[in-house]
Structure formats: C-alpha cells, structure tokens
Amino acid sequence: MSVKKYTEQILKELASNVTHLNDAQLDKLIAAIKEANHIFLAGSGRSGIAIRGFANRLMHLGKSVSIVGDVSNPHSDSNDLLIIGSGSGETDSLVSIANKANKAGVKIALVTMDEKSKIGQLAEVIVTLPGVSPKLKNAGITITSIQPMGSAFEQMSFLTYDGIILELMEHLDETTESMFPRHADLE
C-alpha cells in the first residue's frame, strides 16, 4: 500500500471514530473550562503533544493556562481545573499529578480511552474517546485500527480539542480576528 492509501485509511477510521463522541461529556468539559480561574494541562508522550496544542488555543481564547511542569506554573487553588490527556489513564507521572490536584481541591478533567482508570476515579469530568492501546487495562470504546499503539486516540484527541475550541469560540463570542492579537509575537 502507498502512503496516500494509508492516509486515506486513517481518515476513514477518524470519520468512523468521531461517531463515538459523547456530547454530554464534552458539554461538561466546556462548562468546566468556562468556570475555571486557571487551567492546568498535562499529558505524556504523543497525548502530551496534543494537549500542548490545546493549551495554546485556550490561551488564544484569553484563558489563563499553563502546562504542568513548566517553570512558570502558578500555585493552584480550588477554582482551578486540571485537564489530563491520557489514553490509558494510568501513566504514573500523571496519576501523581492527579493525586496532588485532588488533595488541593482542584477539579480534574480527563480525556481518555479508559474512564475506569486510576485517573478516571479521581476525575469529576471524563471525556472518553475511541482508541486502541496495549496499555488499556479496562474496556474502552471498542474499535479497530491499522495504526500502531495509541495513534487513533491521539489523533482523536487533537481533533476533539479543536472541536472544543470552536464551541468555546461560539460561547465566548470569539473569532480568529479577536484571538489573533493573543498569538505569540516573540517567535
């Protein structure tokens, strides 16, 4: 098969996977984002790359955000939100962060394949996305994929985060034009 054919197959998978999105779960996440004073975001590996892109767009919307572990992170408080992107919901470093946030009274949201995971048990808001991973401990949304490991989940994460941004733009009366002045200029 060619790269073009593989890419076409990936796009077919994603079109099928989007049917598994749960609007009620997504609405809860959007409400939590709108209510938060500050939003902390965390993820590891490729899920971490996707959540960093999400943090960037939330900042463009005028939200106060930071990536957990950055030296410029502020101290948390009970009006804050921690969003974790973790397919398995079991990554040790992310479980540790979730436990600390829980002790501090920070609301936890999880984007995952496994709502019954360790982090899922701590989260007040869970968005379950389809994916395939050898790390999955509990049953998630059953799909098949030609892609290795968690690729389907990571791609759905990135696309879902972009969908959330578009919905938030509507709620907040934001446009590309109103967001652009918040784009980095020291690049």
Question: What span, in angstroms and rounded, lies between the C-alpha atoms of 11 and 154?
Answer: 13
Residue with tokens 């946030």: 101
Q: Compute the average pLDDT of residues 165-187.
A: 93
- pLDDT 10s digits, 101-154: 999 999 999 999 999 999 999 999 999 998 776 666 666 667 778 788 888 999
Check 90, 154, 167, 187 and give the catalytic one. Answer: 154
- pLDDT 10s digits, 53-92: 999 999 999 999 999 999 999 999 999 999 999 999 999 9
Q: Are 87 and 136 in contact (CB under 8 A)?
A: yes
Question: What span, in angstroms and rounded, lies between the C-alpha atoms of 157 and 6?
Answer: 20
Domains by residue range for the chain, with CATH: 25-171 (3.40.50.10490)
Q: Is 115 a catalytic residue?
A: no
- What local confidence, expressed as pLDDT, does residue 80 receive? 98
Q: Are 148 and 124 in contact (CB under 8 A)?
A: no
Task: For residue 85, give Cα distances in angstroms to 55, 89, 109, 115.
Answer: 11, 8, 9, 12
- Token pair for residue 30? 């959007």
Question: What span, in angstroms and rounded, lies between the C-alpha atoms of 17 and 143?
Answer: 8
Helix (H) or strand (E) holding 142: none
Global confidence as pTM: 0.94
